[in-house]
């Protein structure tokens, strides 16, 4: 089974690329979505989070109390790292379980949509496509989503640069233009990389 990784910075359009692949029938495992599910009521990360930080970080329904948790983790890098490590581990456990099931079913290709290309992500993927984008275009997109310009700039600044992302990927897609341009670029990679491997989508 071919595992295709999609990654890129905030506002780059990696989710749009994953969406185009989903439209073609591929299963997309979205790390952000899984992260929300493992910290929701009954989520698999919640017992460990409660044991590490105390019951005060758990809401009455059993979900992560993000406000209380951010107060605890804000300004304390070790606590923030501890939280991130717990969530990452449970996210990737869930991803690995799903990949094993898909392999058993005989799926030919699964997409992993991950914002930060951590080592585990790179180990699981057979190939990684990096979505890049001009900074001004990213800022405009994030502001259109309702984010303040200063916050958007801060988020971009703390992430890896496009060059750093590209060093970790096998192919890059520049998404600085419109959707039609992006679709054309994705189509080229589908034909060159997936069709060549017998993955017809």
Classify residue 50 by burial, with Cβ atoms within 10 Å: 0-12, 13-18, 19+. middle
| pLDDT score of 75 | 80
| pLDDT score of 121 | 96
Beta strands 171-174; 127-132: pairing state: parallel
Structural domain boundaries enclosing 14: 2-196
Rg (CA), the chain: 18
- Please indicate, yes or no, if residue 23 is contained in any of the structural domains: yes
| Residue from 199, 189, 169, 192 nearest 25 by CA | 199
- Please indicate, yes or no, if residue 201 is contained in any of the structural domains: no
| pLDDT score of 74 | 82
- Please indicate, yes or no, if residue 52 is contained in any of the structural domains: yes
- Please indicate, yes or no, if residue 17 is contained in any of the structural domains: yes
Q: Please give the tally of structural domains in the chain.
A: 1
Domain CATH code at residue 87 = 3.40.50.300
Q: State the Cα–Cα distance between residues 99 and 27, nearest whole angstrom.
A: 10
**CB atoms inside a 10 Å sphere around CB 182:** 20
Q: Encode the chain (201 residues) as per-residue pLDDT tens digits.
A: 999 999 999 999 999 999 999 999 999 999 999 999 999 999 999 999 999 999 999 999 999 999 999 999 888 999 999 999 999 999 999 999 999 999 999 999 999 999 989 999 999 999 999 999 999 999 999 999 999 999 999 999 999 999 999 999 999 999 999 999 999 999 999 999 999 999 999
pTM over the 0.85 mark: yes
- Please indicate, yes or no, if residue 133 is contained in any of the structural domains: yes
């Amino acid at each position: 089974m071919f595992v295709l990784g999609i990654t890129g910075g905030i506002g780059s359009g990696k989710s749009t690329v994953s969406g185009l692949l989903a439209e073609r029938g591929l299963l997309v495992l979205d790390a952000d979505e899984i992260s929300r599910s493992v910290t929701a009521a009954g989520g698999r990360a919640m017992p460990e989070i409660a044991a590490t930080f105390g019951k005060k970080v758990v809401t009455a329904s059993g979900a992560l109390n993000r406000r209380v948790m951010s107060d605890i983790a804000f300004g304390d890098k070790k606590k923030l790292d501890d939280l991130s490590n717990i969530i990452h581990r449970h996210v990737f456990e869930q991803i690995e379980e799903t990949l094993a099931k898909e392999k058993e079913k005989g799926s030919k290709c699964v997409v992993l949509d991950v914002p930060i290309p951590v080592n585990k992500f790179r180990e699981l993927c057979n190939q990684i496509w990096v979505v890049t984008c001009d900074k001004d275009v990213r800022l405009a997109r994030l502001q259109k989503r309702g984010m303040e310009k200063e916050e958007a700039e801060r988020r971009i600044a703390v992430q890896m640069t496009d060059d750093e992302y590209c060093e970790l990927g096998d192919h890059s897609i520049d998404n600085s233009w419109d959707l039609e341009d992006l679709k054309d670029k994705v189509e080229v990679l589908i034909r060159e990389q997936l069709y060549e491997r017998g993955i017809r989508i």
